[in-house]
Amino acid sequence: MIFYDAGLIGYSEALRMQERFVLEVQRGAEETLLLLEHPPVYTIGAGGDSANLLDPGIEAFRVNRGGDVTYHGPGQLVCYPILDLSRRGRDLHRYLRFLELFLLQLCASLDVEGFTVPGRTGVWTERGKIAAIGVGVRRWVSMHGFSLNVSPDISPFERINPCGMPQCRITSLNLERKAGLAVADLKELVRDRFEDLLDLHLPSS
């Protein structure tokens, strides 16, 4: 697996990058995990409800992923796995559960106890939602992925119903730990752990 650190990158540019990698993986190239941060941006899934944008002045990218509206900004780790799911079981539900499991284990390794909510996708703590997940698939190659709040300004979430949930509280690793973590620290942990857990739960044929 290739781990590609794109740094701080605009949403449109990152989307074009994903689309390029998706085509390459469809043609047999190695799977890729993009790790990055975005400048402040709102995005909304293909089936999302624009009414969840509470401020009429908000502009949001509507993109080909599941889920509703969310916010991305500096201090948030965004990961876009470009995976050939045709070789990993062709089971989108199982893939989503893997992403949740990975995030739960990642948080636990930092002494943050997370949990999932039946009927919802993502990871929560007692203080609120800490990670959002929204994926898309093209010919069984995945795109989009998850965002994990490390140290972002969470006030922009107040202008939306995050993931379509009114009054959804938002938290971050640094709010949970009351200690400083940088996105770069999380990138190293993801590099160390993602591929091994993926091969364990979604082995490639």
Catalytic residues: 163
C-alpha span between 147 and 35 (Å, rounded): 10
Q: Which residues pair with 55 in a beta bridge?
A: none
C-alpha span between 194 and 26 (Å, rounded): 21
Query: Of the candidates 2, 19, 4, 6, which has an alpha carbon nearest to the alpha carbon of residue 144?
Result: 19
C-alpha span between 183 and 151 (Å, rounded): 8
Q: Which residues pair with 35 in a beta bridge?
A: 5, 79
Q: Which residue, chain included where needed, has tokens 């605009």?
A: 10
| Distance from chain centroid for Cα 44 | 13
Neighbouring C-alpha atoms within 13 Å toward the C-beta of 200: 9
Query: Of the candidates 30, 107, 60, which has an alpha carbon nearest to the alpha carbon of residue 99?
Result: 107
